[in-house]
Amino acid sequence: MNEIVANDTLGAFCRHTHVEMQGAPRGPLAGLTFAVKDIYDVAGVKTGFGNPDWLRTHEPAARTAPAVQMLLDAGARLIGKTHTEEMAWSLTGENAHYGTPINVNAPGRIPGGSSSGSAAAVAAGLVDFAVGSDTGGSVRLPASYCGILGLRPTHGRISLEGVCPLAPSFDTCGWFAREPGVFERVGRVLLRDAAPARAPSRLLVAQDAFAFADETAAAALNPALDKVAALIGAPQYVAAGDEPLTAWGDYFRFPQGAEAWECHREWVTRVKPTFGPAVGPRVAWAAKVAPHDVARARREEIAQRMDALLRDDAVLALPSAPGIAPLRNSPPDVVDGVRSRALPMLCIAGLARLPQVSLPLATLDGCPLGLSLIAARGNDTLLLALARAISSQPSAASR
C-alpha cells in the first residue's frame, strides 16, 4: 500500500478494496496521480459499491473499466479507490458502514456524495485528480462543497462499462481536479476529443434555479457571475423550466428510482443486504415506484426545450448547490430539506443529458460555494476551456 493511502487520515480511501497501478510511461497524463470511486472495476480486485454485503457477494473484477484503463494508458498512476455512499445513492457522502470522508475546505461539514472520497482526496491534494460518477448530482454537489472543479459530461459520452450502475439513463462518468489545466487534460483523454473547443456565444442565468438557493448563497455567487459575464458578455435572465422545477425534480426521481430497482432488484431480493438509514428507505421506495409516475416524466420535451435554449453555443449559469455544505451528522429533516432544494437545480442536466461543470468561484462563511455552467449536448470541451479561462481571471470577491 502506498504512503498516501496508508497515511490517509481523511477517510477518503478504501482499505478493503485497495488497488494501485502504474500508468504508461508516456502520455498526456504522465506524472499525474489519480483515484477512482469504488464503483469502477479494476481487474483482480473486488468493487465494493459502498456496501459490505455487495463486497461479500461479488467476485473480483475480470477486467478494468475502460474509463480507468484510458487514464492509465494516458500515463496517469492509480493510487487507490475512494469511498462512495452505498449504491452511489446519496448527496451527503455519509456512509453508514465506512464513515464520512473529511472535507478539508469546510471543516466539520460533509464532503457531499456519492463521490465523497474522490472529492475529499482531490480537495486535500492527495491526488491530482479523481474519478467519480454523477447520476443526480454526485460530482457537481461535492465539487461545490469541497471547493474544486467537477464535471458531469454529456450522457453517454464516456463508457460506463465495468461500472456499478444506479440509473443507467442518467449515470455518467465525471471527474474532479484542483487545477484547471489538469481538469481539461483529463477531460480530453476521457472524452477522446483533441479538437479545438468552441467558444460560448452568450450567457444565460437560470432565475428559477437560483430561487432554490439560500438568499446569502445566491448573493455570494454574484461576483462569480460577473467573472463569467466578463468573458462571454452581459447575461440574459431566463427560466430553465417551462413549469416549476419541483415538477422537473419528480420527472427525474421517479425514473431514477425505477431504474435503480430494475438494476438491483434480483440482488436485493436474494441477498437482503443491510443498508444504512438513509439509503435503505430509498431502496424500499424505489421498489414501489408506479409505472404511471415514470410514464408522466416529460424527458424528451425537456431535452428539446434545453436544446433550443442552449443553441448556438449558449451556456446556462445556476448554483451548483443550494448553499454551503451542511454540518456532518445533521438531523434528517435538515438533510431532506437540502436534498429537496438541490434536486430541482441538479435535475436539469440529468433530464436533458447535458454536460455541466461546477466551478469553485465563491465562498460563504469561510466555506466553498460553486457556480455551475450547463452547455448543449456534446459541448463538454467548451465547458473545460471556459473553466480554464475563468480560473485565469482575478479571483471573485468572497464573503
How many domains, in total, are found in the chain?
1
Question: What average pLDDT does this structure show over 304-318?
Answer: 98
Question: What average pLDDT does this structure show over 250-254?
Answer: 98
* 297 assigned to some structural domain: no
Average pLDDT value over all residues in the chain: 97
Question: What average pLDDT does this structure show over 353-368?
Answer: 98
Q: How far is CA 331 from CA 47, 293, 327, 351, in A?
A: 30, 29, 9, 29
Q: How far is CA 165 from CA 3, 57, 154, 246, in A?
A: 31, 16, 17, 25
Residue 267 burial (10 A CB sphere; 0-12, 13-18, 19+):
middle
* 334 assigned to some structural domain: no
Q: Which tens digits make up the pLDDT trace of 314-323?
A: 999 999 999 9
Q: Is the confidence at residue 291, as pLDDT, over 70? A: yes
**C-alpha–C-alpha distance, residues 390 and 18, integer Å:** 36
Q: Is the confidence at residue 140, as pLDDT, over 80? A: yes
Half-sphere exposure of 155 (CA within 13 A, CB side): 18
Task: Lay out the sheet containing 367-374: strands in order across.
Answer: 77-82, 33-37, 129-133, 173-177, 149-152, 356-364, 367-374, 314-319, 202-206, 236-238
**What is the pTM assigned to this prediction?**
0.97
* 179 assigned to some structural domain: yes
* 339 assigned to some structural domain: no
**C-alpha–C-alpha distance, residues 334 and 369, integer Å:** 18
**Res 395: pLDDT:** 52
Strand partners for 95: 99
**Residue 75 CA to its chain's centroid (Å):** 24
* 99 assigned to some structural domain: yes
Q: Is the confidence at residue 38, as pLDDT, over 90? A: yes
* 281 assigned to some structural domain: no
8 Å CB contact between 82 and 35:
yes
**Res 305: pLDDT:** 98
pLDDT bucket at 398, cuts 50 / 70 / 90: very low
Higher pLDDT, 398 or 342: 342
| C-alpha cell recorded at residue 333 | 429533516
Q: Is the confidence at residue 57, as pLDDT, over 90? A: yes
- Per-residue DSSP letters for 11-48? S-B-STT---B---SSSTTTT-EEEEETTB--TTS---
CATH number of residue 18's parent domain: 3.90.1300.10
Q: Is 272 assigned a catalytic role?
A: no
Helix axes 66-73, 180-191, angle to 10 degrees: 120
Residue 193 burial (10 A CB sphere; 0-12, 13-18, 19+):
middle
pLDDT bucket at 282, cuts 50 / 70 / 90: very high
Which residue's C-alpha cell is 461576483?
Answer: 223
**Res 127: pLDDT:** 98
* 231 assigned to some structural domain: no
**Res 393: pLDDT:** 73
Q: Is the confidence at residue 133, as pLDDT, over 80? A: yes
Pick the catalytic residue from 37, 46, 81, 227: 37
pLDDT bucket at 397, cuts 50 / 70 / 90: very low
**Res 324: pLDDT:** 98
Question: What average pLDDT does this structure show over 125-132?
Answer: 98
pLDDT bucket at 396, cuts 50 / 70 / 90: very low
pLDDT bucket at 394, cuts 50 / 70 / 90: low
* 305 assigned to some structural domain: no
Question: What average pLDDT does this structure show over 92-106?
Answer: 97
Q: Is the confidence at residue 399, as pLDDT, over 90? A: no
**C-alpha–C-alpha distance, residues 171 and 260, integer Å:** 11
Pick the catalytic residue from 138, 320, 358, 372: 138
8 Å CB contact between 145 and 111:
yes
Give me the domain span that covers residue 135: 3-191
pLDDT bucket at 192, cuts 50 / 70 / 90: very high
Which residue's C-alpha cell is 473484477?
Answer: 61
Pick the catalytic residue from 90, 114, 118, 320: 114
Q: Is the confidence at residue 123, as pLDDT, over 70? A: yes
Q: Is 37 assigned a catalytic role?
A: yes
Name 324's Cβ contacts closer than 8 Å, sequence gap at least 6: 106, 109, 145, 217, 364, 365, 367, 368, 369
Q: Which tens digits make up the pLDDT trace of 146-172?
A: 999 999 999 999 999 999 999 999 999
Q: How far is CA 104 from CA 53, 101, 126, 325, 329, in A?
A: 30, 9, 11, 12, 16
Q: Is 114 assigned a catalytic role?
A: yes
Question: What average pLDDT does this structure show over 333-342?
Answer: 96
pLDDT bucket at 208, cuts 50 / 70 / 90: very high
Reduce the secondary structure of 93-137 to three states and give it as a string: CCECCCECCCCCCCCCECCCCCCHHHHHHHHCCCCCEEEEECCCC
8 Å CB contact between 82 and 118:
yes
Question: What average pLDDT does this structure show over 260-279?
Answer: 97
Question: What average pLDDT does this structure show over 105-124?
Answer: 98
| C-alpha cell recorded at residue 132 | 467519480
